[in-house]
Amino acid sequence: MKTCPICSGGLERTEKETTLTYKGKNLTFLQPGEYCLQCHEGFLSPADMKATKKEIVDFKREVDGYLKTSQIKKIRKKLHLTQKAAAQIFGGGERSFYKYETGEVTQNKPLDLLLRLFDKEKISLSDLK
């Protein structure tokens, strides 16, 4: 069994209920990691943080009034576009839609509004030409 670098207690690999507060709103989720059985300190690997990253990003986007990662992907697919093609049309760089859909980067407000207009079929791809 691994030992805690803080108190030398035993570490246990488990999921711990964690609450994140963002702009007065709370998100409670299960965070995987190694947790000390004595001092209860948590130690998270990059894989542990990645496991909850999208959930946290989507929560913050929702609080801020932005489309979630899955909504962006749904709209892109509705338009029959690959991530690369969407990036060429809307800008932001070759991998921008990959980053929006994985939660690496949050889209800017103008793009968010434009995608919402496409989703509600207020505009079409031919309107951009």
Using DSSP, state whether 110 is helix, strand or coil. Answer: helix
The answer to whether the predicted template modeling score (pTM) of the entire model surpasses 0.85 is yes
- Residue 45: the pLDDT is 97
- Residue 1: the pLDDT is 84
Helix/strand number for the chain, H first, E second? 6, 3
Largest CA distance in the chain: 64
- Residue 44: the pLDDT is 97
Question: Which of the residues in the chain have pLDDT under 70?
Answer: 129
pLDDT 10s digits, 27-57: 999 999 999 999 999 999 999 999 999 999 9
CA torsion angle for 86, 61, 71, 101 (degrees, to 10)?
50
Q: Distance between CA 94 and CA 105 in Å, rounded?
A: 13
- Residue 128: the pLDDT is 79
Q: How many residues does the chain have?
A: 129
Q: What would the CATH number be for the domain defined by 69-122?
A: 1.10.260.40
- Residue 49: the pLDDT is 96
Domain ranges of the chain: 11-51, 69-122
